[in-house]
Amino acid sequence: MMKNTPGPEITLEMIAEHGLTDGEYERVVNALGRAPNLTELGIFSVMWSEHCSYKSTRIWLKTLPTEAPWVIQGPGENAGIVDIGDGQAAVFKMESHNHPSFIEPREGAATGVGGIMRDVFTMGARPVANLNALRFGAPDHARTRHLVSGVVSGIGGYGNCVGVPTVGGETEFHAGYNGNILVNAMTVGIAPADRIFYSAAAGIGNPVIYVGSKTGRDGIHGATMASAEFDDESEEKRPTVQIGDPFTEKLLIEACLELMATDAIVAIQDMGAAGLTCSSVEMADKGGVGIELDLDAVPQRESAMTAYEIMLSESQERMLMVLRPGAEDMARAVFEKWELDFAVIGRLTDDGRLTVRQGDVEVATIPVRPLVDDAPIYDRPWQPTPAPAALADEGPAVAPMTALSTLMACPDLASRRWIWEQYDHMVMADTVERPGGDAAVVRVHGTAKALAMSTDCTPRYCRAAPEMGGAQAVVETWRNLVAVGARPLAITDCLNFGNPERPEIMGQLVGCIKGMAQACEALDYPVVSGNVSLYNETNGQAIPPTPAIGGLGLIADLDKRANIALKRDGDLVALVGEGIGHLGQTLYRRELFGAEDGPVPALDPAWERRVGEAVLRLIETGRLDTCHDISDGGLLVAATEMALAGGRGLALEAPEEGDIAGWAFGEDQARYLIAAPPAVMDGLLADLQAADIPACRIGQVSGDALTLEGHGHISLGELRAAHEATLPRLMGAA
């Protein structure tokens, strides 16, 4: 075949437009032994983008603990996998779709959900739950309402149609996200542990198959956009947004799982960021083989698409597979039944190259190894974040019950019902703990066990003290899982930061990762998958550091679990753990004094583990069914959440001495509230005492108000109204 490198000469502008530095371009020329053509330049640029190559974070990500006896697959594949017993595995991952969601919130968020689900079913798992960690700008910022409404309808519209319940997540508002919202989506799936599918291509000569939707000119440069800083011009980049088709995704799940029940598939990979390029290169690289593609065979939605466009398109709902020889007809029949495109578009070769043809023309030929291995890796300079100053003057005292009302209605603590009611959180009929509690609980279909899941991060801690903040995010998911009675197994993460080329931002990233690593280590709670989203800045203004963590745990017996709702009048309520009334960096300071100041609360992951395991034992023995961890907002807020969830009042005893605000609203870590009938509580407290865990009775369930001895009471009705009204009001629905 005639060698042909069509297209224009590569200019300096083209190199810059592709986000490659001079040094990086030089590496391209070295890898090829010649100048690239435009298609090849495009391929290198997406493969070496931050999104695909992790060039700024790779050396730091390596420091995270990734192993445990129950880990089947750690980072490096489409998703992480843990053993959940009985021959079953849980497959899960979290991913960001921040930039696309800012530009077109509905489609951006929808395609984020679609993408993360594909990562999970690619591995042979049926998706069983979705979660979403959302961060928006200030509630009164001009774009916030539009963005919230678009993102929520996009997430709901996609997951609802596919029929996977959206069971949890988190939602925060802060001016630090005015120019860069965060949309992090997580999917959990379940697979037979002995039938997991990987992406390493194998078998020279084996056919390469394309299935799913046709390829159009969607999202070309999406991957590089996801790595480029915003400026005011970026609204112009709009047409790169992709449109999702959840109906096709549903068909794709069913078709893939049907084919996965046979022995036809050798390797499979979804086409995510950088579409055909990234999927084919990764499959070939992992298998140590070459791959040859014929672009004329690629199903196309539009006419006259160039090789560049086909290779870089980010059309959604597409997968690439390597089949066993001879399995094509059977596989084709499955995909045709589900009315999806199916095409043989290439084969595996032994020359270690990615060779792309369009008709008779060879449009790209690149050795695979350098495309992956020669990707630049940077040890970026970083500056440790300076320790926060001491807490400023406390300001005028606020009556605790007044502060409570304000906090229960503040955007970060108000009920998220307006959001989760737009998500089908019950489809598949296995949701046993709906949104609103500490962790969602989803039954493993057909068994008496369940998975618990939660996403968490407290960016105000991360900004004040990245190491503690990174650790705290991990610990909070762990605590949320424990609070429902689950054994925490592992986490996935989504590391959202600003521009890593700035040493102070890199310092936040390094700090957060260090903290995460310490917490994971201490809790035996490894990282099995994750995602990095950098350059979340607009006009030089970076987002607060936000390492969102998604935790997964296992409940062995569904009948031995807990939730936050108070269940019986007369139950005693006890505080497990202890605190000093730490007010630095709390929501209390922020919401009542407008101050984001002071040091972060102390955190000791080893101590967290001792306290949490003691609580978990109480739940696992079937004696404790009511539990809530204390986090944002502190003790009084946690107690109120329990009262509202159960529709029962609570009378709390105030401490005899000390600072009432610190007692009520301090965010000291490693604490839980538990409730049980008096006779049972005696035994629980005795067990805790025997384990050397501080615990003391602080109140009793009764009436229909929240009462704090000596400080008055507020009726549940009033608290509920304040708690429920905020989001609908913000969204103009009430």
Ligand X SMILES: Nc1ncnc2c1ncn2[C@@H]1O[C@H](COP(=O)(O)OP(=O)(O)O)[C@@H](O)[C@H]1O
Cα 555 versus chain centre, distance? 21
Q: Which residue lies nearer to ligand X by CB, 369 or 720?
A: 720
Q: From ligand X, another protein, Mg ion, none, which one binds at residue 649 (CB under 5 to 8 Å depending on kind)?
A: none
Q: Say if residue 643 is exposed, middle or buried (CB neighbours under 10 Å; 0-12, 13-18, 19+).
A: buried
Q: From ligand X, another protein, Mg ion, none, which one binds at residue 419 (CB under 5 to 8 Å depending on kind)?
A: ligand X
- Given candidates 99, 217, 502, 589, which one binds another protein under the rule CB under 8 A? 217
Residues 399-418 that bind another protein (CB under 8 A): 417
* Active-site residue, 51 included: yes
**Whole-angstrom Cα distance, residue 77 to residue 665?**
42
CA-based radius of gyration for the chain: 26
- Given candidates 157, 222, 275, 500, which one binds another protein under the rule CB under 8 A? 157
* Active-site residue, 723 included: no
Q: Do the Cβ atoms of 385 and 508 come closer than 8 Å?
A: yes
Residue 480 interacts with ligand X (CB under 6 A): yes or no: yes
- Given candidates 85, 87, 205, 239, which one binds another protein under the rule CB under 8 A? 239
Residue 411 interacts with ligand X (CB under 6 A): yes or no: no
Q: What track of x and - describes contact with another protein for positions 297 through 336 (by CB under 8 A)?
A: ----xx------------xx--------------------
Residue 632: how many other CB atoms lie within 10 Å = 21
Which of the stretches 164-172, 617-625, 671-679, 693-701 binds ligand X when contact is defined by CB under 6 A? 164-172
Q: What track of x and - describes contact with ligand X for positions 450 through 479 (by CB under 6 A)?
A: ------x-----------------------
695's tokens? 């615990």
Residue 346 interacts with ligand X (CB under 6 A): yes or no: no
Task: Report the alpha-carbon angle 376-382-388, nearest 5.
Answer: 150
**Whole-angstrom Cα distance, residue 436 to residue 641?**
9
The count of residues interacting with ligand X (CB under 6 A) is 19
Residue 183 forms beta bridges with which residues? Answer: 134
Three-state secondary structure call for residue 436: coil
Q: Which residue lies nearer to Mg ion by CB, 456 or 625?
A: 456
**Whole-angstrom Cα distance, residue 290 to residue 355?**
8
Rounded to the nearest whole angstrom, what is the least distance from the CB of residue 454 to Mg ion in the complex? 5
From 18, 51, 221, 425, active-site residue: 51
Q: Which residue lies nearer to another protein by CB, 34 or 445?
A: 445
Task: Report the alpha-carbon angle 220-302-161, nearest 5.
Answer: 75
Residues 79-118 that bind another protein (CB under 8 A): 103-104, 107
- Given candidates 37, 56, 213, 300, which one binds another protein under the rule CB under 8 A? 213
Q: Which residue lies nearer to ligand X by CB, 279 or 631?
A: 631
Query: Strands, DSSP E only, in 78-181?
Result: 80-83, 88-96, 126-136, 166-173
HSE-up of residue 725 (Cα within 13 Å, Cβ side): 10
Residue 243 interacts with another protein (CB under 8 A): yes or no: yes
Which of the stretches 162-170, 180-188, 251-259, 673-681 binds ligand X when contact is defined by CB under 6 A? 162-170
Q: From ligand X, Mg ion, another protein, none, which one binds at residue 437 (CB under 5 to 8 Å depending on kind)?
A: ligand X
Rounded to the nearest whole angstrom, what is the least distance from the CB of residue 480 to Mg ion in the complex? 5
Rounded to the nearest whole angstrom, what is the least distance from the CB of residue 624 to Mg ion in the complex? 19
Q: Taken in order 677, 678, 684, 685, is the CA torsion positive or negative? A: positive
Residues 669-708 that bind ligand X (CB under 6 A): none
Sheet containing 182-192: order of strands: 71-73, 80-83, 88-96, 182-192, 126-136, 166-173
**Whole-angstrom Cα distance, residue 151 to residue 110?**
8
The contacts of residue 352 (CB under 8 Å, 6+ apart) are 284, 288, 289, 290, 367, 368, 369
Residue 425 interacts with another protein (CB under 8 A): yes or no: yes
List the one residue out of 525, 591, 499, 553 whose CA is nearest residue 172: 591
Q: How many helices (H) and strands (E) does the chain have?
A: 25, 28
- Given candidates 107, 282, 317, 438, which one binds ligand X under the rule CB under 6 A? 438
Q: Under the rule (CB under 8 A), what is the footprint of another protein?
A: 103-104, 107, 153, 156-157, 160-163, 213, 216-218, 238-239, 241-243, 245-248, 250-251, 301-302, 315-316, 338-339, 417, 420-429, 431-432, 434, 443, 558, 647, 720, 724, 733
Q: Under the rule (CB under 6 A), what is the footprint of ligand X?
A: 132, 134, 168-171, 416, 419-420, 423, 435-438, 440, 456, 480, 631-632
